Amino acid sequence: MREAAFSLIGPVADATVLDLFAGTGAMGLEALSRGARRAVFVERDRDACRVISQNLERLRLTAGVVVRGDALGVLREERARGRTYDLVLVDTPYDDWPRYAEPLGELVPAVLAEDGVAVVETSTSVEPELPLDLVTTRRYGSARITVYRTP
């Protein structure tokens, strides 16, 4: 599915990436391996953070930063600091999308750079909405990948 997602996203060379609800960090790691300049991985689970850090080390990807914390809290901090990202990856736990939809709709556009791309992964039964321009939505097994761009 990573390959399919990145074929929808397009080139990420020199991009700054924010990987929210990072889990294993697979998407952010993929972005770094494709030439992204920097990736910030946000994950609240301590063990998952350790796995991401180990993978960054093992792959010698020095441009990755792991932040252990709440994705919404980190988004609020990044918005307050005026930081923006070329690519924002959002992979909430599938059952939790309804709980996160509204705050993500407020916060993701605020940290998305001009000509930025946001990628949302949900279950196929969910059609996520963000106040951004919809590029495409595709189903892959039990997952849906939805791609947005800044207006």
Each residue of 86-98: pLDDT tens digit? 999 999 998 899 9
Q: Which residue has the tokens 């963000």?
A: 130
What lies within 8 Å, CB to CB, of 125 at 6+ separation is none
Write the DSSP symbol of residue 3.
H
Distance CA(14)–CA(45), nearest Å, equals 28
Q: How many domains are there within the chain? A: 1
Domain hosting 89: range is 2-149
> pTM here?
0.95
Burial of 10 (0-12, 13-18, 19+ CB in 10 A): exposed
The model's pLDDT over 24-54, given as tens digits with 9 standing for 90+, comes to: 999 999 999 999 999 999 999 999 999 999 9
Helix-, strand-, coil-residue percentages of the chain, each rounded to 5: 40, 30, 30
CATH number at residue 32: 3.40.50.150
Low-confidence ranges of the chain (pLDDT < 70): none
Please check whether residue 130 is in contact with residue 122, taking contact to mean a CB–CB distance below 8 angstroms: no
